[in-house]
Structure 1
Amino acid sequence: MSEDKNQFEDDYQKLLNETLNEVSEIQSYSKKSQTEIVTIGKNMARRTNIMISLAILLLIVPIMTLTTYLYYAIGGRADHLIDVVTKTIYVTEPNMGLEKLKLEDEVGFFSMNITFDVFKRIGKEDYRAGNYKLDFFLDHPNFPKKNMLLDRPLPEIPDKETEVLFHPKASIPFNQTDQWDILNKLPDGTVAEVYVSLNELMKPDVLQKQLPKNMELRWLAVDTGMEAAQVDKGGVPITPLGYPAQYDPTIWSPFRSYDQTNEEVFLDILSLLEKNQPVAEKVARAKSLALKSRLAYIKKQGINVYGAVITGPTEELRKLQNIKEIRALKVGEVKLWNWE
């Protein structure tokens, strides 16, 4: 025990002597040398802190990126959001669709943005109508940035004065004679798109039978109980709800099912959008879709249409003036002949 104590005292004395020698050596430096040593020490400490910070950042970036990818991947959240966005276009924008296979998406830090083109069928061809860019923070979208290429684009936010499809009980805000004059003065050898409003509600197949053969019924505006007022219960303008009248053979279209009619697909889409209404309302022109009450109304009353979009040769579309069930017409896009 005594030997251990002596050894400890020797080691302590040795350490003390070394420390005193180091202090003596430092004190032997000039004041300038001591300042330089301190400065060097500070710089080394600063560089060390910077390197540690950079290392932490370089570690955080991939972790955040991986976390974001996992967020959008788990449960197919990204695909689900894209599905809601694209289907909103089909049922809120008359005669408009998109090529889902060409949709581009990019994931960033806790964000995702998607871009896609939209198309209109004029005559027998699909024409690029514009481009959408939509940014998400997690699953919350911003309002889309649009670049529309149409000659007669629909208003960014619908209202009673600028809409193109009108319920039989809604007033028509434009001169109907002027629109027929426009159609009559368009040259033969062109194809056009027209929005027609009906005198009364009718079933889709009944409307189809009223139309001349050499034209195509493209999109049906469905009565949802709010179109007469054109606003929701809070007075906010609503957009028409409807669906393509024809089977769509393109592989990305929701209206290409052999097992369901377009009416059934339409109802399924409304049910999807009702569960994701905040996203759908950001994408749609109207900022109120009131889907719960409108969907309940359709399920109770069935599908009845009050308006439609029709396309075909201009000289054939003029025959619509002879159909007594058509209350009003508004001319949409016009293109060169492609009706082959």
Structure 2
Amino acid sequence: MSDEWKNKLQKYYEGNLTEEEAEEVERDLEKLNAYQEVISEELDAEAEYQPDDLPPEKVNKILNNSMRNAKFSLAAYVIMILLLIYPILTLASYIYYAWNQKAEDLIQVPIQTVYITEPNVSLEEMDIERAFGLFTFEVTMDLYKRVGKSDIKQGDWEVTYQYDDAEFPQRNYISENPPEAIPYYDTKKLYHPEAAITNRDMAAWNRLERLPEGTVAEVYVSLDELIQPENAKEVIEDVDVEWRWYAIDTGLEASGKSLDGGYLAPIGYPAQPDPDAWSPYNGREPNDEQFMESLVFLKEYEEQATNIAHAKWLDLDYRINYIEKHGLHAYGGVITGPAKEILQLRDNESIRTISIGEVRLWNW
């Protein structure tokens, strides 16, 4: 609107225009009123406009785009939340297993369990691996047996923990005579002097005799009476063999049954110190003392140790009390050496029965 027209409009309202000029202003005002009505109608039409007025195809396209955008936004939020939660849970898992040295104790459970429940079996530190997950913990161990002067790999165990709970381990054996997954009376190799022999290997001595001169063997020896472990060397006196593991009397071996009546596998400890410094039987203290410490330690984790061991009953509280009251006595164990040397023990009256384990070529 120009300044000239504004002045003319002011004069119009003041009555200072000629009749002709007044009529011209009135015609302009009528035009403005007409324009105002058109603009108002257009604005009202836009205000009353609804999506339903669109064609169905366009409406569906708009809705599909909106749903797709909503799904994308939701997926982005979920991914973002997961990316935030996963490291938080991972950190929480590490804190959980690091708290109060929980991880170290859980690693020691399978290690100690192997040494006391697996006759003549040892571990190597470099072959023990550990892996952490979200509140899971896995320990992988390679197992070795001493046959002659060599450690023969028997296989490996994979022990998985969910929080603190140990699952039944996955056992992978490569040896010729792997143990049964669950031992029972007909797989028994060591017998207490008062226990009935259920599966005596009548041909064991004959098989030793047939072995070639250049072989070494692992032999399970059951004695005719209980002896103190330090006196076990008298059984093999003047024979070029060595004890590798002692089976210990804990008050239940005569019946061979657990307190619940199930089959009870033997427990014991290595007869020789382990040269590896990390080993629980590394020679810093006598093996019999370490054996008792192992039992006390595993008593706190008996459920986990029972799940890990071949034996399905350990009854550690009873066995610890029995040993503390009666002392340590062995009823047998495992020896190794040249087959022909072991054969010299055939007429030894202190040996009740034997069972042959692994056999290898000469490495003595």
Question: Alignment partner of 1:103: what SS?
Answer: strand
Which of 49, 59, 68 is 2:93 aligned to?
Answer: 68
Amino acid at match of 1:89: V
Deviates more, 1:75-84 or 1:302-311: 75-84
Stretches of structure 2 lacking an aligned partner (at least 5 in a row): 1-41
Q: Give the drift of 1:52.
A: 1.1
CA contact (8 A) 2:218 2:357 kept: yes
Amino acid at match of 1:252: W
* Structure with greater Cα Rg: 2
**Deviation digits for residues 229-274 of structure 1 (CA, Å, limit 9, x no counterpart):** 111121111111100111111123111132x211000000000011
Q: Give the drift of 1:177.
A: 3.4
Q: Give the drift of 1:148.
A: 1.4
Residue 231, structure 1, aligned to residue 222, structure 2? no
Q: Give the drift of 1:197.
A: 0.4
Residue 240, structure 1, aligned to residue 266, structure 2? yes
- Residue aligning to 1:52: 77
- TM-score, normalised to structure 2's length? 0.84
Q: For 1:172 and 1:25, how far apart are their aligned partners in 2?
A: 95
**Deviation digits for residues 297-337 of structure 1 (CA, Å, limit 9, x no counterpart):** 01110000001100001110001112211111111110010
Task: Give 1:47-196 correspondences, 5 Å limit.
Answer: 47-196=72-221
Task: Give 1:270-289 correspondences, 5 Å limit.
Answer: 270-289=295-314
Q: Give the drift of 1:71.
A: 1.2
Root-mean-square deviation over aligned CA pairs: 1.9
Question: Alignment partner of 2:202: what SS?
Answer: helix
CA contact (8 A) 2:200 2:353 kept: no
Q: How many residues align?
A: 322
CA contact (8 A) 1:110 1:137 kept: yes
CA contact (8 A) 2:224 2:352 kept: yes
C-alpha distance 19-298 of structure 1, shift in aligned 2 (>3 A): farther
Which of 247, 251, 256 is 2:277 aligned to?
Answer: 251
**Deviation digits for residues 268-293 of structure 1 (CA, Å, limit 9, x no counterpart):** 00000111001110111111000000
Q: For 1:325 and 1:102, how far apart are their aligned partners in 2?
A: 38
Deviates more, 1:20-29 or 1:326-335: 20-29
C-alpha distance 18-108 of structure 1, shift in aligned 2 (>3 A): farther
Residue 205, structure 1, aligned to residue 230, structure 2? yes
Amino acid at match of 2:297: L
C-alpha distance 173-31 of structure 1, shift in aligned 2 (>3 A): closer
Q: For 1:310 and 1:325, how far apart are their aligned partners in 2?
A: 14
Stretches of structure 1 lacking an aligned partner (at least 5 in a row): 1-16
C-alpha distance 179-128 of structure 1, shift in aligned 2 (>3 A): same
CA contact (8 A) 1:101 1:252 kept: no
- Residue aligning to 2:342: 317
**Deviation digits for residues 130-157 of structure 1 (CA, Å, limit 9, x no counterpart):** 1111111111111011111222223222
Question: Alignment partner of 2:306: what SS?
Answer: helix
CA contact (8 A) 1:92 1:241 kept: yes
Residue 43, structure 1, aligned to residue 68, structure 2? yes
Q: For 1:301 and 1:314, how far apart are their aligned partners in 2?
A: 35
Residue 222, structure 1, aligned to residue 239, structure 2? no
CA contact (8 A) 2:214 2:338 kept: yes
Q: Give the drift of 1:217.
A: 0.7
CA contact (8 A) 2:225 2:331 kept: yes
Amino acid at match of 2:278: W
Question: Alignment partner of 1:151: what SS?
Answer: coil
C-alpha distance 309-43 of structure 1, shift in aligned 2 (>3 A): same
Q: For 1:208 and 1:92, how far apart are their aligned partners in 2?
A: 22
- Residue aligning to 1:9: none
Q: For 1:176 and 1:144, how far apart are their aligned partners in 2?
A: 30
CA contact (8 A) 1:155 1:163 kept: no
- TM-score, normalised to structure 1's length? 0.90
Q: For 2:103 and 2:308, how far apart are their aligned partners in 1?
A: 16
Q: For 2:159 and 2:353, how far apart are their aligned partners in 1?
A: 35
Q: Give the drift of 1:226.
A: 0.4
C-alpha distance 262-18 of structure 1, shift in aligned 2 (>3 A): farther
Which of 328, 339, 343 is 1:303 aligned to?
Answer: 328
